[in-house]
Amino acid sequence: VSDELWAIARDIIDANLYMILGTADRDGAPWVSPVYFASADYTRFYWTSTLDATHSRNLAERPGLSIVIFDSQVPPYHGRAVYLSAIGVELDGDELDEGLAVYPGPRPGATSLTREDVTAPAPYRLYRATASEHSILCPREPRQPCPLHGIAVDHRTPVHPSNNDISS
């Protein structure tokens, strides 16, 4: 069962181009932002933003992130989503090298970046969220209990990346 649940999470991550970042400022005021992302191994998620974007400024204050990835085009009651708890950082040095090998990924219209694109004096930076927890909406048919727990309302269930998806 855990492999099947993880496969659902992986499919959602693979099928979607944007994730929603949830950040908060120094005082705890929340802010959400959609960003185009690329994932190295379903645990590290990369995106670019300007330094002065609200979520970038928030991350500089509070590195804790919540993230959701979902398809907004599915019919009502068929929603599927992956939720992540993560730590976000602006990348430099070796970590920036690794990020540039992943972002923006092999997607149509995506243009590769250089270090100059995301280091001073450029306004953009490459960021990485490293997920510590993954969960998904527990799959169930509309108005039916989920086979896994027998629960007939929306709820999340934790999922764990397979070893094969986290590698060198």
- Interacting residue ranges for another protein, rule: CB under 8 A: 94, 97-98, 100-102, 106, 112, 163-164, 167-168
Phi and psi of 45, rounded to 5°?
Answer: -120, 125
Residues 6 or more apart whose CB falls under 8 angstroms from that of 35 comprise 18, 19, 21, 47, 48, 49, 55
**Structure letter (DSSP) for residue 146:** -
Q: How far is the CB of 162 from another protein (least distance, A)?
A: 9
Q: How far is the CB of 40 from another protein (least distance, A)?
A: 10
CB burial of residue 26 (10 Å; 0-12, 13-18, 19+): exposed
Q: Which is nearer to another protein, 21 or 100 (CB)?
A: 100
Q: Which is nearer to another protein, 38 or 59 (CB)?
A: 38
Q: Which is nearer to another protein, 144 or 163 (CB)?
A: 163
Q: How far is the CB of 7 from another protein (least distance, A)?
A: 13
Q: Coil, helix or strand for 105?
A: coil
Q: Which is nearer to another protein, 92 or 98 (CB)?
A: 98
